[in-house]
Amino acid sequence: MTIALYGATGRTARELAPHLAARGPIVLVGRDAAGLAAAAAACGGRAQYCVARSDDVDALRRSFAGARVVVQCASLAADDAARVAACTVAAGASYLDVCADASVAEAIAAELDDAPDRAGVVVCPGVAPIGGALAEWLAVAALRRRTGELTAPESIELGFCSAGLASTPGSLRSALRMLLATPAWSTRTIDFPPPFAREQCFSFPLGCGRLGQLFPRAAIRTWAALAPPTIGSATTARALWVAHGLLRSGDASHALASALAPMLEAASIDRDDAPERLRFAVVAHVTSGGRTTAISAVGQRPYATTVAMQRLVVSAVLGEHGRTGIVGAAELIRAEEALDWLVAEGELRVFADDAGGPA
């Protein structure tokens, strides 16, 4: 029951690998042989490694042969992620990733179509707390609290606030890709749980797992507080605000290209951000029948929470779920159970507000 980890030299994968290795054989896959050897050694000899670039279909398929699940943790652009997902399914394995980027989930769905059903495997994108499946679980739990069932709501507004997450080259790269993809900026304020406060948010194209397939996409709006003034990593705030300003200035692609290098350099200084400097919050406002239920989650360790979510979803995928195809985390694990488990693991605090009132 082998699990393959793609992007195995990165921070997310290095935190996840020992947990996966504890349940059985794992294969670490990526493009840097020396980094992979070091990552395998850190697993105490319980991991093998294979070199495969994300554009090398043959190497990807070879690396994934025999795996039951591939967990993709690299900061890939949409077309690269879709290729890795297609090679996973072609190898007869289920696919999970940690991408919050809506364009990645859309590219995977377009590339794979019904291939996962035909292969009898599961594809579950966006298993991550910020902009990923945590929002799917929160929104589904809020909706069931509001209506007792999963009828389509009038609106789902999701707010994300983080401090210190964009501290690796990969996460900053992904955040900037999403900034570039933002077609038109609109703003609103959202009340986040402490230590955040009422934060100014911008429309931001986050995938939120498979929420857009569970409910009409037009009903869902996603917002990010890019530089929360109440708390925050100075580097992240500066980098994202610079990018935001450049995007608004018009000449986005040229300006971003020249701004990217110093931003990534600054990000690498933050690479080992002290855990206490990291914070994130996710707020789901679900409006149905003219009344709104809000559920929010706040956590302190976005990488550890990602690892916990992956452990939970990997177990579900390897268990008896009877599902195939592209599915959301809320279709594999009941949202309330997933949230309770994350709270019990110490990863989240969850707050519910049933005050209702006009949306």
Ligand X SMILES: NC(=O)c1ccc[n+]([C@@H]2O[C@H](COP(=O)([O-])OP(=O)(O)OC[C@H]3O[C@@H](n4cnc5c(N)ncnc54)[C@H](OP(=O)(O)O)[C@@H]3O)[C@@H](O)[C@H]2O)c1
> Residues in the site for ligand X, rule: CB under 6 A?
7, 9-12, 30-32, 35, 53-54, 73-76, 80, 98-100, 128-132, 168-171, 174, 302-303, 306
Dihedral (C-alpha) 137, 140, 141, 147: value to the nearest 10 degrees? Answer: 180
CB of residue 30 to ligand X, shortest distance in Å: 5
CA distance to 85, 99, 216, 258, 288, per residue, from 70 (Å): 8, 14, 29, 35, 37
CB of residue 31 to ligand X, shortest distance in Å: 5
Note whether 102 and 205 are within 8 A (CB): yes
- Comparison of 49 and 215: residue with beta carbon closer to ligand X: 49
- Comparison of 67 and 78: residue with beta carbon closer to ligand X: 78
- Comparison of 149 and 276: residue with beta carbon closer to ligand X: 276
CB of residue 309 to ligand X, shortest distance in Å: 9
- Comparison of 153 and 170: residue with beta carbon closer to ligand X: 170
Q: Which residues contact 164 (CB under 8 A, 6 or more apart)?
A: 232, 233, 236, 270, 273, 277, 278, 279, 302
CB of residue 131 to ligand X, shortest distance in Å: 5
- Comparison of 293 and 310: residue with beta carbon closer to ligand X: 310
CB of residue 51 to ligand X, shortest distance in Å: 10
CB of residue 287 to ligand X, shortest distance in Å: 25
For residue 248, give the nearest of 306, 184, 293, 203 by alpha carbon: 184
Note whether 192 and 118 are within 8 A (CB): no
Query: What does the buried/exposed string (b/e) look like for 133-158 if buried means 16 or more CB atoms within 10 Å of the residue's CB?
Result: bbbbbbbbbbbbbbbeeeeebebbbb
SS3 158: strand
Instruction: Please return the burial class of 159, using the count of CB atoms within 10 Å of its CB with bins 0-12, 13-18 and 19+.
Output: buried
- Comparison of 132 and 153: residue with beta carbon closer to ligand X: 132
